[in-house]
Amino acid sequence: MSKELLFKYVLTLGDDALILGQRLSQWVYKGPFLEEDIALSNISLDMFGRANLFLEYAASLKGSTTTADDLAFKRNEREFSNHILCEQPNGNFANTMARQFFLDAFYKLFFEKLAESEDEQLSAIAQKSIKETTYHFRHSSKWVIRLGDGTAESHEKMQSAIDNLWMFTDELFEMNEVDNNMLTQKIGVDCLTIKAKWDQIIDEVLSEATLKRPENIHMTSGGREGIHTEHLGHLLSDMQYLQRAYPDAEW
Amino acid sequence: MGHFLPSNHSSKANTLTMSAVQETAFQEKIDAELKIEAKDWMPDKYRLHLIRQISQHAHSEVIGMQPEGNWITRAPSLRSKMVLIAKVQDEAGHGLYLYSATETLGITRSELIEQLQMGKAKYSSIFNYPTLTWADMGAIGWLVDGAAIVNQQSLRRTSYGPYSRAMIRICKEESFHQRQGYEIMSKMSNGTTEQQEMAQDALNRWWWPSLMMFGPADSESAHTSNAMKWKIKRGTNDDLRQLFIDRTVKQAELIGLEIPDPDLKWNPKTKHYDFGEIDWEEFWEVVNGNGFCNKERINNHIKARSEGQWVREAALAYSEKKQNGV
Ligand SMILES: [Fe+2]
Ligand SMILES: [Fe+2]
């Protein structure tokens, strides 16, 4: 039972990194300039590296012959438990940066806690991820500030990106049965305790960016239970195409 | 007026002698295998030739991100996805080094990009072919990067310092790309029947365009003579093409793929492979903009750049505000 819950917990962490990495990889040659193509590829690569570590761990918990690739390429929409924010389309550069900024701020705090996990593998992956996330956060928060405090056009685009994605941020701090169990076992993170710090980081950056924190927005969640926006299905059908079309092939 | 004539005349003569002296010194330096650096005197034609060649090379790296970028979201495993993203990212880096090398010659990156988008500057025609299956990721790495390496290895000895140093850096990464591409081909040609068919089909489609990457035959090549004299180019198109063929034929045999050329045959006298006639008509069609993807590649580039316009403006506005202490 507890192994099954740990599997679910690790899988969510893997799914978040995988789906976000997939979104970022859609930018590779479409960034506003070459240096940014390189930066976005880097972050995407970090995400896939992280996804690989979590999914390999999850696969080992599942046992038998399951591989990380099986988990990435052969599960359906309802079996993915990533946060809905990760699957949101790239939109314009401001949308991508807002999405990244919310998640980087969250994961920065989350991995600092997860590094203290009594599960050695999770702690090791968390420690590796802290360094990357620090760089990711610097990158995304600087863009939020530049765009917020850049031109009138960029300010307006950045504000509307923040407003449109805000509804997906509460989900990051929800604690379900799996999370509570993991917390009791000193394996998982208490997301409720990092919420205040997250709010503070967001407020600081938004204020420097001359942007407003959205208010009275209805919050959406469901990703952890496999309820997603319609975007995920399209992302998966693209990502999983070869594995699904040629199930006997090795690549 | 008459007064000024003689002095005017003699200053012109002086200038002529001056530049003749400089040109001789320049050529002596080149003949002695010394590098020309950005601040050194160089003939205008040398400078223009370099701007054209290096920027064409930079644009090729950048446009080359598209055909492979086309498969990143569909890469069939986590590992292959990471390898492909890292490769496309390397190409962006190559584009950057080469734009910087071109900028040492007194032209800006945005001017160069404008030339590309207006169709005044070219990029390698190979990137105007479509990537249709995953095997194309193998074929591009193996053949296209493989052909690029042959060319770039020879350019490590090019006479212009910044270009030569960029080539040395780039060559190291290109050999990774070539190996990774070959690995995909090798896996697929040892895979299921469908995978084998994809691999052979990709080789069939990419083989001849790869040979065309070396440019027209020496007898037809407009730029070769000065480029060789100035040691910008260090091998002729035909020699480099032959070197690539000789290397690649054995690699194809090793993984059981067949090169789509019935005339391909080992020649024991020359110790090289003889090969069939290249379709130069197709080559010129693609060079002149009538390839399968020419319009799409440029339109994508224009689209990405124009969608990024407001971002670049915002970054500039922000940094100006900060500089002025606002
Ligand atoms: Fe390259
Ligand atoms: Fe390459």
**B49-59 pLDDT, tens digit each:** 999 999 999 99
Is A25 in Cβ contact with B73 (below 8 Å)? yes
Q: What is the pLDDT of residues B258-316, one digit of tens each?
A: 999 999 999 999 999 999 999 999 999 999 999 999 999 999 999 999 999 999 999 99
Q: What is the pLDDT of residues A67-122, one digit of tens each?
A: 999 999 999 999 999 999 999 999 999 999 999 999 999 999 999 999 999 999 99
Burial of A219 (0-12, 13-18, 19+ CB in 10 A): exposed
DSSP secondary structure letter of residue B274:
E
Burial of B304 (0-12, 13-18, 19+ CB in 10 A): middle
CB A137 within 8 A of CB A104: yes
Q: What single-letter amino acid sits at B255?
A: I
Write phi, then psi, for B160 (nearest 5 degrees). Answer: -90, 115
- In which element (H, E) is residue B266 found? strand B265-267
pTM: 0.95
Q: What is the pLDDT of residues A200-229, one digit of tens each?
A: 999 999 999 999 999 989 999 999 999 999
Question: Residue B62: pLDDT band by 50, 70, 90 thresholds?
Answer: very high
Instruction: Give residue B274 CA to ligand 1 midpoint distance, Å.
Output: 28
β partners of residue B265: B274
Question: In angstroms, what separates the C-alpha of B201 from chain A's closest C-alpha?
Answer: 17
Alpha-carbon gap, residue A2 to A188, rounded angstroms: 12
Nearest residue, CB atoms, B314 vs list A44, A49, A151: A151
pLDDT of res. A2? 82
> How far is C-alpha A86 from the chain's CA centre?
5
Alpha-carbon gap, residue B212 to B209, rounded angstroms: 5
pLDDT of res. A1? 54
| Rounded percentage of chain B residues whose pLDDT exceeds 70 | 94
Is B195 in Cβ contact with A157 (below 8 Å)? no
Give contacts of B321 with chain A, Cβ < 8 Å.
Answer: 149
Write phi, then psi, for A139 (nearest 5 degrees). Answer: -65, -50
Write out residues 175-194 of B within 8 Å (CB-CB) of A.
184, 187-188, 191-192, 194
Is A51 in Cβ contact with B308 (below 8 Å)? no
Tokens of A156: 């307006």
Q: How many CA atoms lie within 13 A of B103 on its CB side?
A: 11
Question: Residue B12: pLDDT band by 50, 70, 90 thresholds?
Answer: low
> How far is C-alpha B177 from the chain's CA centre?
15
| Rounded percentage of chain B residues whose pLDDT exceeds 90 | 87
Instruction: Give residue B50 CA to ligand 1 midpoint distance, Å.
Output: 18
β partners of residue B160: B36
Alpha-carbon gap, residue A164 to A154, rounded angstroms: 15
Alpha-carbon gap, residue B64 to B13, rounded angstroms: 48
Tokens of A122: 């999770």
Alpha-carbon gap, residue A155 to A149, rounded angstroms: 6
Burial of B160 (0-12, 13-18, 19+ CB in 10 A): buried
Q: What is the per-residue DSSP string for B94-134?
A: HHHHHHHHHHTTS--HHHHHHHHHTTSS---GGGGS---ST
Judged by average pLDDT, the poorest of A153-167, B15-29, B107-121 is B15-29
Dihedral sign, Cα of residue B244, residue B249, residue B254, residue B259: positive
Instruction: Give residue A175 CA to ligand 1 midpoint distance, Å.
Output: 47
DSSP secondary structure letter of residue B267:
E
Three-state DSSP class for B272?
strand
DSSP secondary structure letter of residue A212:
P
Alpha-carbon gap, residue A196 to A188, rounded angstroms: 18
Q: What mean pLDDT do residues B158-179 have?
A: 95
pLDDT of res. B3? 44
CB A125 within 8 A of CB A50: yes
Beta strands in B118-252 (DSSP E): none
Is A55 in Cβ contact with B85 (below 8 Å)? no
Question: In angstroms, what separates the C-alpha of B72 from chain A's closest C-alpha?
Answer: 7
CB B189 within 8 A of CB B196: yes
Q: Which residue has the tokens 């969608």?
A: B307
Q: How many CB atoms lie within 10 A of CB B161?
A: 16
Query: Is B18 a residue whose pLDDT tops 90?
Result: no
Instruction: Give residue B90 CA to ligand 1 midpoint distance, Å.
Output: 7
Question: Residue B223: pLDDT band by 50, 70, 90 thresholds?
Answer: low
Between CA B211 and CA B216, with CA B214 as vertex, the angle to 5 degrees is 95
Question: In angstroms, what separates the C-alpha of B84 from chain A's closest C-alpha?
Answer: 10
Q: What single-letter amino acid sits at B296?
A: E
- The reply to whether CATH 1.10.540.10 applies to domain A3-213+220-245 is no
Could you state, in order of their start, the residue ranges of all structural domains in chain A? Answer: 3-213+220-245
Is B134 in Cβ contact with A52 (below 8 Å)? no
Distances (CA, A) of A218 to A114, B2, B171, B321: 29, 89, 54, 36
Cα dihedral B197, B200, B205, B209, rounded to 10, equals 160
Alpha-carbon gap, residue A90 to A27, rounded angstroms: 8
- In which element (H, E) is residue B265 found? strand B265-267
B134 touches chain A (CB under 8 A): yes
Q: Which residue has the tokens 């689209």?
A: B303
Q: Determine the straight-line distance between the first and last CA of chain A, rounded to whole angstroms.
A: 34
Query: Is B14 a residue whose pLDDT tops 70?
Result: no
DSSP secondary structure letter of residue A214:
P
Nearest residue, CB atoms, A151 vs list B72, B92, B313: B313
Q: What single-letter amino acid sits at B231?
A: K
Question: In angstroms, what separates the C-alpha of B120 from chain A's closest C-alpha?
Answer: 20
CB B217 within 8 A of CB B198: no
- In which element (H, E) is residue B242 found? helix B237-254
Distances (CA, A) of B45 to B19, B52, B115: 13, 10, 18
B78 touches chain A (CB under 8 A): yes
